[in-house]
Amino acid sequence: MENIEKKRKVLKRLREWREAEAKRTGAELFRVLSNDAMNGIAETLPTTKEALLEVKGIAEKKYQTYGRDILAIVAEETTTGLFGASSEIKNNEEESDLLNEKENEGESDGYRQNGEMIFIVSDYLEILNTGLRQFEAKVIGEITSLDIRGNYIFFSIKDKKENALMPCFMWGSAYKMSGVFLEEGMEVQVHGFPEMYKPSGRMTFKADTVELVGEGALKKAYDLLKKKLTAEGLFDEARKKAIPEYPQNIGLITSETGAVIHDFLNNIGKFGFKISFRDSRVEGALAVKELVSSVRYFKKKKGIEVLVIIRGGGSMESLQAFNNEVLVREIADCPFPVLVGIGHDKDVPLVSLAADRACSTPTAVAKLLNSTWETALSKVRISEQKILNRFSELLYEKKDTIREYSDNIEEKFRAIFERFKNSEEKIKRNFVAIGSAIGRSKERINRLEKMLGEKLEGDIRRSKEKVIYIEKMLVANNPMRQLKLGYSLALSKGKVVRKVTDVLKGDEIKIRVEDGNIDVVVS
């Protein structure tokens, strides 16, 4: 009950938010968020981007615009209590205040009275719808009425054995994706969940897929669609694209569970293949949407050279997804070659007819992709052997010439080695002569060294004697020596006074004696 309450709160908040967002941007309500998307969010309560993108009606573009707001609403409502503030009302006074506040705001939330929850009709039906989603199922019955109205379809199915009737509703887009043309009296299998339609209070089964039941009906639908698409030229050989000679970038669509993908990967060669994989159901009506979505994904992906779609064999009923018109047209419209490997018996799946190349098994697909590379490898090996054989032939044809060249080369090398030997002897002789010259030069240098030493020693001695003589002369002629002996030196105007006529009356004279100067004036 607590989980149902959370889902109801999320759905209510989403409706309020959608209305406000539509009013703000001027968009229609369904442009902001479809009812199916809101129901899906309320049912799964996604808390991450990845989980939100799994909800029908939420694509990457929608997430970029509204994703953060939606996740915030889910997080807020799943972590708060009944009234969004606390998981438990502490006392009657607080409860009364909250209820009065909601009544004043005109909100239609449920509230407690005397211990019981009370709802308005729309909220209660919403709670029922949230709970009814858990009864998702597949139901088989015979169509008793059919009303196709543009983008939605009303029909009823009944039980053949019992007097039981179930009204069904289906969106036109889901009907188109299912790839069947319903008629009264057909036996079908529908997948979906029950839902209360609020305006009428009537419960209907909201179907998201419908498929035919019985080999006869499937064969009839198969033949009709095959005839239609053949007339349009979708299976013509002229429109088929060639598989690249040396493919590397491969898109792969199949189920990640089971042996098929392992058979393919175990048999694909080691030729530098770069495989981009998309996991998809490959059986049942629910597989159609995933297969179409995967094909469209690879159409937008850059660099894909060939798209591979594989699954194991099975009955016409189990292969019905590969006889879907929407999927066939998507494959026929691919900008790159499509290679399919779908096991079959006499009735070839229409996808195989529309593909550019079809193989009977996933292993055969892998071998086909390997074939051009293996052929190329074989050609390389053959060319390698041809080169080696031709080289041997040329060696045989030119053996005499080669022998002659070999003898010439040997003779020339012998001459070279002889010259080398002569040069070696000459170098040895030169080394001996150089050694003798070095010896003689060494003796001469020793004699010169001795002579130079003796000459240098005599020069130093004579220079020393000359210096001593000059020193004696300087001492003998030093004026200061004369001053010490009692002589004096008279200077006038910086010049030595030698005669009386060198001075005039009144001139100043500086007389220098041993211990100083005497200043006098000529009188």
Sign of CA dihedral 364, 365, 370, 376: positive
Residue type, 208: D
pLDDT confidence of residue 339: 94
Cα–chain center distance at 72: 29
Alpha-carbon span 67 to 3, nearest angstrom: 22
Residue reference for tokens 């009264």 = 184
pTM of the full structure: 0.51
191: number of Cβ within 10 Å: 19
Residue reference for tokens 């080695």 = 417
Q: Which domains does the chain have, with CATH numbers?
A: 2-128 (1.10.150.80), 136-213 (2.40.50.140), 220-372 (3.40.50.261), 481-521 (no CATH)
pLDDT per residue as tens, the chain (523 positions): 567 778 888 888 898 888 888 877 777 787 888 888 888 898 888 888 888 998 888 988 888 888 888 988 888 877 644 333 333 333 333 333 433 433 333 344 566 666 678 888 988 888 898 889 889 999 999 999 999 888 889 999 998 777 899 999 999 888 888 888 888 888 999 999 999 988 888 899 999 899 888 777 788 888 888 899 999 999 999 999 998 888 889 999 998 887 888 888 888 888 888 999 999 888 877 788 889 999 999 999 888 999 999 988 777 777 888 888 999 999 999 999 999 988 755 668 898 999 999 888 888 888 888 888 888 788 788 888 888 888 888 877 777 777 788 888 888 888 888 888 888 888 888 888 888 888 888 888 888 888 888 888 888 888 888 889 888 888 777 777 777 777 888 888 888 888 888 888 888 898 888 888 898 998 8
Closest CA to 276 of 302, 257, 258: 302
HSE-CB at 177 with a 13 A cutoff on CA atoms is: 20
Mean pLDDT of the chain: 83
Closest CA to 281 of 309, 316, 315: 309
Q: What is the dihedral of CA 367, 370, 372, 377, to 10 degrees?
A: -130
Query: For residue range 190-241, what is the model confidence (pLDDT) as tens digits?
Result: 999 999 988 888 899 999 899 888 777 788 888 888 899 999 999 999 999 9
Judging by beta carbons within 10 Å of its beta carbon (0-12, 13-18, 19+), is residue 340 exposed, middle or buried?
A: buried
End-to-end Cα spacing for the chain: 148
Q: DSSP letter at 493?
A: T
Alpha-carbon span 374 to 372, nearest angstrom: 5
* CB 213, CB 140: distance < 8 Å: yes
**CB neighbours of 125 closer than 8 A, spacing ≥ 6?**
196, 198, 201
Beta strand 116-118 pairing with 249-254: unpaired
pLDDT confidence of residue 327: 92
Judging by beta carbons within 10 Å of its beta carbon (0-12, 13-18, 19+), is residue 5 exposed, middle or buried?
A: middle
* CB 224, CB 230: distance < 8 Å: no
**CB neighbours of 343 closer than 8 A, spacing ≥ 6?**
311, 312, 313, 314, 360, 361
Closest CA to 490 of 475, 477, 507, 473: 507
